[in-house]
Amino acid sequence: MGIYTALLLVAVVLLICIGSSRLSYRLGVPVLFLFIVLGMIFGSDGVFGLPFDNYQLTEQVCSVALVFIMFYGGFGTSWKEARPVAAQAILLASLGVVLTAGITALFCFGVLGLSVYESLLIGSVISSTDAASVFSILRSKKLSLKHGLASLLELESGSNDPTSYMLTAIVLAAMGGRGQKNVPLQLLSQVLFGLAVGALVAVLATAVLSRVSFEQKGLHTTFLVAVALGCYALAQLLGGNGYLAVYVAGIVLGNSRILHKVELVHFFDGITWLAQVLIFFVLGLLAFPSQIPALLGTAVAITAFLSLVARPAATLAILSWFKVPLRQQFFVSMAGIRGAASIVFAVMAMNAGVPMRLDIFHIVFCVALFSVAVQGTLLPVLARKLGLVGDQEGGGVWKTFTDYQDQEKVQLIELPVVQGDFWCGKAVRDLGLPPELLITMIVRGEETVIPKGGTVIAGGDLLVLGGLGRAQMQALLAQCCSDPQKK
């Protein structure tokens, strides 16, 4: 396939994915399900028959795509709203994952008759909920959930991958005869280094973005792309979990006062959608539908047990300690959607080179497909049936995500200009005003001037400046000119 043919194919696939998003709203099916089905249609066994079976490339591509999904998931989470449910989310993301993996493994071994290691591997791979699916479904369906449930689900799905990853790595090491020493210590290092790197990188990035205004606005987005990729890579190199690191970095940055936040969220919203298209399409492309019928019974049984027994049992064991009503516990258990993360861990298992009788990739692929299709479709309906959906102003899902326009009202200050003043005789572009402070209008005698970069300020002008908060504006003015008379 030539380069131009490949580019044309990519363009066609993206356009089809965009068109399918409208179809998903009409059918009530999550758009991610349609993306993965499209991948199957284009794949080796599909209508177009594109040959693709590279597990290693798939793991690398999906890992990079998940970096941006995790980063934007954190960037859009309001810590103020999430703090009350943080303890519940952290326990679900750690102990809950271990319980889910163990219960599912017992089912695979005792009921399905799989080997011990294969049972443990399946339980580990599908034990975490999928951040990409949870973020996408909650936000695209605009579910205004009560009782902090949106925050709980987002925090859990954004932080439970390290536990599932470590469980998978431990089982793969045991299957390869390598063993795994100091398992608790390794899990602890994954979490601690992930948290530390994410927080440190975010604090440094926040300091840069809150003080430096790049010459071109596009450089702010480029800077954050570098931050997300660097944060992931650094955490991995130090033995931490990269996904946890970028998620933490996203939370810190998204809840900090940084310049050009509106532009940043628009950019990462687009990048995240592109990453979701890429990851689900590539995973669908890798699948061979002809191999699914032989595994369908096993996959359906695992999906049903995971959704109806293992996940609810783990949820009940943890949330009951917090006196969470059963209705809310039931909803949280049903919202444990499996998706891209589980399939990526299955791809990692395929790349590990350990002996397996079972086609774990296609089994986990089917589990994730059923989970996204069934649970993702029923989630909005279930929320309404349980009376857990409030109005948009009632502290629901839109309060979970950072309001990127900031909460303070814009303040206006009138500043008269006299001859010999700091401002007098200077063009607007030469004043060196920080981005948070704008000259919105110049009153010049009977004339009102809308300032441009080349507008020269004259003595006798009345400047109308706008910014967020009077105290903040006074501080910014103090930075611009040192003479108290000009402040």
- pLDDT tens readout for residues 196-232: 999 999 999 998 887 776 767 678 889 999 999 999 9
Sheet holding 438-444, edge to edge: 410-416, 462-468, 438-444, 447-449
How confident is the model at residue 245, as a pLDDT? 92
What domains, with CATH codes, occur in the chain? Answer: 32-386 (1.20.1530.20), 410-482 (3.30.70.1450)
pLDDT of 484: 41
Question: What's the one-letter identity of residue 244?
Answer: L
Token reading at 455? 């507008």
Tell me: the pLDDT tens digits for 322-332?
999 999 999 99
pLDDT classification of 472: cutoffs 50, 70, 90 = low
* Mean pLDDT of the region 399-412: 50
Q: Please, are residues 190 and 266 in contact by the beta-carbon 8 Å criterion?
A: no
Encode pLDDT of 37-74 as tens digits.
889 998 888 888 888 888 888 988 888 998 998 898 88
Alpha-carbon span 195 to 246, nearest angstrom? 9
pLDDT digits (tens, 9 = 90+) for 340-359: 889 889 998 988 888 888 88
Q: What pLDDT score does 300 carry? A: 94
Task: Give the pair of three-digit tokens for residue 42.
Answer: 């284009």
* Average pLDDT of the chain to the nearest whole number: 83
Query: How many helical (H) and strand (E) elements, i.e. helices and strands, does the chain have?
Result: 21, 4
- Cβ distance 480 to 422 under 8 Å? yes
Distance CA 144, CA 150 (A): 8
CB atoms within 10 A of CB 263: 14
- Check if the beta carbon of residue 77 is closer than 8 Å to that of residue 402: yes
CA distance 160 to 284: 24
Once rounded to an integer, what is the mean pLDDT over residues 91-108? 95
pTM assigned to the model = 0.74
Please list, in sequence order, all residues whose beta carbon lies within 8 angstroms of the beta carbon of residue 297, skipping any fewer than 6 positions away.
none
Say what percent of the chain tops pLDDT 90: 28
Give buried/exposed letters for 320-355 (b at 16+ CB in 10 A, else e). eeeebeeebbbbbbbbbbbbbbbbbbbbbbbebebe
* Spatial contact of 230 and 53, defined as CB atoms under 8 Å apart: no
| 56: exposed, middle or buried (Cβ count in 10 Å: 0-12, 13-18, 19+) | exposed
Q: For residue 406, what pLDDT band results from cuts at 50, 70 and 90? A: very low
**pLDDT of res. 334:** 92
Only one residue has tokens 């954004």, namely 158
Cα(371)–Cα(137) distance, rounded to whole angstroms?
Answer: 12
Q: In the prediction, which pLDDT does 312 show?
A: 96
Q: What is the predicted pLDDT for the residue at 26?
A: 66
Rg of the chain, C-alpha, whole Å: 26
